[in-house]
Amino acid sequence: MNKLLHIAILKGGWSAEREVSLVSGAACAKALASLGHKVTEIDVGRDIADVLARTKPDVVFNALHGRFGEDGCMQGLLELMGIPYTHSGVMASSIAMDKPMAKKIFESIGLRCPKGMELTREELLKGDPMKRPFVIKPANEGSSVGVHIVTETENRSIGMMIGDGAWRMENAPNPEQPRYLVEEYIPGREITSAVLNDKALGVTELRTKSGFYDYENKYTGGKTEHLCPAPLPKEIYEETMRMALAAHRVLGCRGLTRSDLRYDESRGMEGLYLLEINTQPGMTPLSLSPELAAYAGISFEKLVQMLVDDALKDQMPNVKCQK
């Protein structure tokens, strides 16, 4: 397409992933401006509908992460306003952010996921819901916010680990009670695969210097080694990409997604487990999806342009571009 457009970059917001979103948004804005587009960066607040109405962009590049930006809420607003936007639509975004629901759909088509259950805070505080080790994570957050691995030697109570559910959106108009996904812990290797426009780009393995791939290890330089392409057996590498593409397709995702998996190599093919899918993966200097795109021969500038092109193609083919 390569026509000059007025592109609004949505970033920031008020989720637990605000700071990461600000970095993603700034990187995307710089890349799109370098291509000649008129770019308006918007730090999203609750007046976003009014701001967009005044801004009048041709298309929105959604660089928000987490709730209210990645979970279908912002997508629904943009649909109502008739503004084309990047990444997945309302339904796919909503289901992907709800980990227990997404997991049910993945399992329904034969994708292997860790055994688990959805619990309320009250249910979780009654005691260990399964044999240790197991993982506790918020049902609807990303970037490993609030994730805990409960080991056999863990001395803290579950109540101490989860605290008061700090990731809950206390400033939401109708804040919901926190829900948790509890899953068996899968030992082994942390791997991820990105899908762009219905094609898997490759696989990266993540090796942290300490602990697991949590929020700090994701976004602090030097704490995690990215092995791209992942040094995996050919059949495991290909199966990882197949699972990522299947997850992308079954939810009806579009544009760019990234699926996270665990691989227990002692079990061979049966040791590959899908954890979750991210419909708006990070676009920071440490982010995995741009790294996988680069491995596939796609520069960062080309990547963001492809996402904009996809938004216009799928939603508003007759958008008038900037002169």
Where does residue 223 rank: exposed (0-12), middle (13-18), buried (19+ CB within 10 A)? middle
The token pair at 234 is: 């050919």
Given 88, 93, 143, 289, the catalytic residue = 143
Q: Which of 128-152 are b and which e, b meaning 16 or more Cβ less than 10 Å from the residue's Cβ?
A: ebeeeebbbbbbbbbbbbbbbbbee
276 is known as an active-site residue: yes
- By the 8 A CB rule, do 93 and 71 touch? yes
282 is known as an active-site residue: yes
Given 41, 260, 309, 310, the catalytic residue = 260
Instruction: Enumerate long-range contacts of 68-71, CB under 8 Å, 24 or more apart.
Output: 68/13, 68/14, 68/15, 68/169, 68/172, 69/10, 69/13, 69/15, 69/21, 69/44, 69/280, 70/15, 70/96, 70/97, 70/142, 70/278, 70/279, 70/280, 71/97, 71/98, 71/140
Given 94, 278, 287, 289, the catalytic residue = 278
Given 12, 58, 282, 289, the catalytic residue = 282
User: Residue 200 CA to chain centroid, in angstroms?
Assistant: 16
Given 12, 15, 17, 144, the catalytic residue = 17
- By the 8 A CB rule, do 137 and 161 touch? no
260 is known as an active-site residue: yes
Q: Which amino acid makes up residue 241? A: M
143 is known as an active-site residue: yes
The token pair at 256 is: 């760019």
Q: Is the dihedral of CA 209, 19, 300, 87 positive or negative?
A: positive
Provide the Cα torsion 184, 252, 11, 174; round to 10°.
-70
Q: What is the DSSP letter of 166?
A: T
219 is known as an active-site residue: yes
Peptide bond into 114 cis (omega under 30): no
Strand ranges, E, within 32-91: 38-43, 59-62
3 state DSSP class of 294: helix
Give the residue numbers annotated as catalytic, written as ranges. Answer: 17, 143, 219, 258, 260, 276, 278, 282
